[in-house]
């Protein structure tokens, strides 16, 4: 199988971490792929009409996207280790994945906005991104005891990856200061072999 990917995308990193957690690294080839908001990649549009990565291409050519769907597909092959099959445990994983994944969406939009020439930037949007980011971090700080005692799964992966993305693209936010428990959890999560094998590179 092939994973169309970029080493800087947090959505791709989520999938790569999951691949390592599931022990599937030797079955999936990472194919470096360039995508840009202002320059659709024709090859990717043919596989995913949204023009986004990650895309997993199966042996028969079927394209699977987006990141959560790819992880769900791989996880079901191996026996639902990252996303519980049913019940409250499943709901907890999916809601907390949605929270971290939603923060990824906000950060990508925020970065696009702040990279525009200053006269084209919306100060209202940027202030709103900042408020939402603070709110998500406060919610995650409260969730830390749950993170510590629940099995490492899709939600943990998304949270660990989005916090690393904050370090990579939003260092000045200094997210650890208001979130000491989350910072301690992240320091441990960042040492997992799956996280070390998938570091974001500039």
Ligand X SMILES: N[C@@H](CCC(=O)N[C@@H](CS)C(=O)NCC(=O)O)C(=O)O
Instruction: By CB under 6 A, name the binding residues for ligand X.
Output: 9, 11, 35, 37, 51-54, 65-68, 108
CB nearer ligand X, residue 35 or residue 179: 35
Q: Report the C-alpha dihedral over residues 113, 104, 187, 54, rounded to 10 degrees.
A: -120
CB nearer ligand X, residue 169 or residue 176: 169
Q: How far lies 114's CA from each of 37, 41, 108, 109, 151, in Å?
A: 14, 23, 10, 9, 37
Q: Are the CB atoms for 96 and 144 separated by under 8 Å?
A: no
- Least separation in angstroms between residue 46's CB and ligand X is 14
DSSP string, 56-77: EE-TTS-EE-SHHHHHHHHHHH
Helices and strands in the chain, H and E counts:
8, 4
CB nearer ligand X, residue 102 or residue 130: 102
- Least separation in angstroms between residue 201's CB and ligand X is 14
CB nearer ligand X, residue 9 or residue 133: 9
- Least separation in angstroms between residue 165's CB and ligand X is 9
- Least separation in angstroms between residue 71's CB and ligand X is 9
């Amino acid at each position: 199988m092939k994973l169309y990917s970029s080493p800087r995308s947090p959505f791709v990193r989520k999938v790569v971490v999951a691949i390592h957690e599931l022990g599937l690294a030797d079955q999936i080839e990472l194919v470096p792929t360039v995508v840009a908001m202002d320059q659709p990649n024709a090859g990717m549009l043919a596989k995913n009409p949204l023009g986004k990565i990650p895309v997993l291409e199966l042996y028969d050519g079927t394209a699977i996207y987006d990141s959560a769907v790819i992880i769900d597909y791989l996880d079901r092959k191996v026996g639902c280790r990252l996303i519980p099959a049913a019940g409250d445990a499943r709901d907890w994983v999916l809601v907390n994945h949605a929270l971290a994944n939603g923060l990824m969406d906000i950060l990508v939009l925020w970065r696009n906005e702040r990279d525009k020439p200053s006269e084209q930037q919306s100060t209202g949007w940027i202030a709103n991104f900042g408020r939402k980011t603070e709110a998500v971090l406060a919610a995650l700080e409260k969730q830390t005891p749950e993170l510590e005692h629940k099995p490492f799964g899709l939600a943990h992966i998304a949270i660990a990856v989005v916090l690393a993305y904050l370090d990579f693209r939003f260092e000045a936010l200094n997210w650890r200061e208001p979130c000491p428990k989350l910072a301690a959890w992240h320091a441990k999560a960042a040492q997992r072999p799956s996280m070390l094998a998938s570091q974001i590179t500039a």
